[in-house]
Structure 1
């Protein structure tokens, strides 16, 4: 499965989007998403742009919400939130880091795993219906190589159904300390800060009644 790599420069832009949506409300985003949404398929097979079955790849039987083609579900069914993978240099032997950064562990992926505390998933952020769910390292569903580089792939535990209509789901990542991927020396592109950071934007999702 081809990874969808979330770099720190994207994370910074995402944070600005999240804050703007919280201030202005998500009504416009929801209205646009509703016009574009399609009734979800009866089966739970989520396919990425390359045609890989994400359910099979991650070992998930529930409905997946996250990839662009997988953002609809039926009311009453549980769902799993997936979000972009995180990749690092293959080993510490040839890792390149920003000035002043020292990894906690020699291999960059081991360093990431040692600092990864989990995620906070927020539904309908900035609205009266906002709810937050916190999960630990169990959201790492698989470590797999792509083009010789290791990637961590994520999926939340099953989440309860949302009401009929359009919602948003936002993922915040939590790290115990700064982590750099070993792929370059630019902090803005190759590092994640310690603490909590916005890892995705407000992803619009839609839930349909069963009779839809």
Structure 2
């Protein structure tokens, strides 16, 4: 019991520092929370269904998300900007910051102009692979009126959410999203939180995630069956 308590205390201290026991030892050995909840790292407030990306997008698997650096308007969510760890043997889904538009006209233009998405896993490595999907992955809606930052309240959005992706081996991985548009589209309001551009050109281009760093797959006990 004492050993367990000491390990738990050490893990809590490391978590507060943004580290993990596995990373400290040079090998990933400890897993993220076993419950699959990805709290939005770029929008806070609103209902639980809005804050939790799993609920918002109706995803049962682990979400690898799009944390953005904290700003005065967007503080770190409880526990820090997570959604960048998964367990070995665990299927996962890639979520990215939504494309927020000034009006429903720009939202409709994005949906009509969207041709396909290509998810590239571990680009430039011996394990690189990609999956291409169509407009069926798009989710759209309206941002609630009680979320942060206030400038986004009540605005339409559309976002690609990947299909379920197969498990990855323990270690550091990358996920890059490329979208193919039939024609040039813009938000009509400037870049959305978490994005570095407000227009996508015709043809294929990288989805402009401002903070698209790597994520980590950690060893640990098999994840519970959803």
What TM-score, normalized by structure 2, do the two folds share? 0.64
In the alignment, the residues of structure 2 paired with residue 75 and residue 65 of structure 1 have an alpha-carbon distance, to the nearest angstrom, of 13
Size of the aligned set, in residue pairs, is 161
Identify the residue that residue 40 of structure 1 maps to in structure 2: 32
Helix, strand or coil: the match of 1:45?
coil
Counterpart selection for 1:192 from 170, 180, 200: 200
In the alignment, the residues of structure 2 paired with residue 149 and residue 118 of structure 1 have an alpha-carbon distance, to the nearest angstrom, of 24
Alignment of 1:182 with 2:192, yes or no, is no
In the alignment, the residues of structure 2 paired with residue 189 and residue 62 of structure 1 have an alpha-carbon distance, to the nearest angstrom, of 29
Identify the residue that residue 101 of structure 2 maps to in structure 1: 88
Helix, strand or coil: the match of 2:35?
coil
In the alignment, the residues of structure 2 paired with residue 134 and residue 205 of structure 1 have an alpha-carbon distance, to the nearest angstrom, of 21
In the alignment, the residues of structure 2 paired with residue 71 and residue 90 of structure 1 have an alpha-carbon distance, to the nearest angstrom, of 31
Task: Give unmatched runs, 5+ long, in structure 1.
Answer: 1-33, 92-106
Counterpart selection for 1:203 from 213, 218, 223: 213
Task: Give unmatched runs, 5+ long, in structure 2.
Answer: 1-22, 46-50, 68-81, 144-151, 191-195
Helix, strand or coil: the match of 2:214?
strand
In the alignment, the residues of structure 2 paired with residue 120 and residue 189 of structure 1 have an alpha-carbon distance, to the nearest angstrom, of 19
In the alignment, the residues of structure 2 paired with residue 87 and residue 167 of structure 1 have an alpha-carbon distance, to the nearest angstrom, of 27
Identify the residue that residue 139 of structure 1 maps to in structure 2: 137
In the alignment, the residues of structure 1 paired with residue 140 and residue 204 of structure 2 have an alpha-carbon distance, to the nearest angstrom, of 22
Identify the residue that residue 55 of structure 2 maps to in structure 1: 56
Structure with the bigger percentage of strand: 1
> Shift of residue 189 of structure 1?
5.0
Identify the residue that residue 130 of structure 1 maps to in structure 2: 128
1:58 and 1:142 in contact (8 A); partners too: no
In the alignment, the residues of structure 2 paired with residue 189 and residue 211 of structure 1 have an alpha-carbon distance, to the nearest angstrom, of 40
> Shift of residue 88 of structure 1?
1.4
Higher relative contact order (CA 8 A, sep 6+): 1
Deviations 1:67-119 (A, max 9, x none): 3310111111110000111011215xxxxxxxxxxxxxxx2211111001121
1:174 and 1:195 in contact (8 A); partners too: yes
> Shift of residue 183 of structure 1?
2.9
> Shift of residue 210 of structure 1?
2.5
2:31 and 2:219 in contact (8 A); partners too: no
In the alignment, the residues of structure 1 paired with residue 212 and residue 57 of structure 2 have an alpha-carbon distance, to the nearest angstrom, of 23
Indicate the RMSD between aligned Cα atoms, in angstroms. 2.4
What TM-score, normalized by structure 1, do the two folds share? 0.68
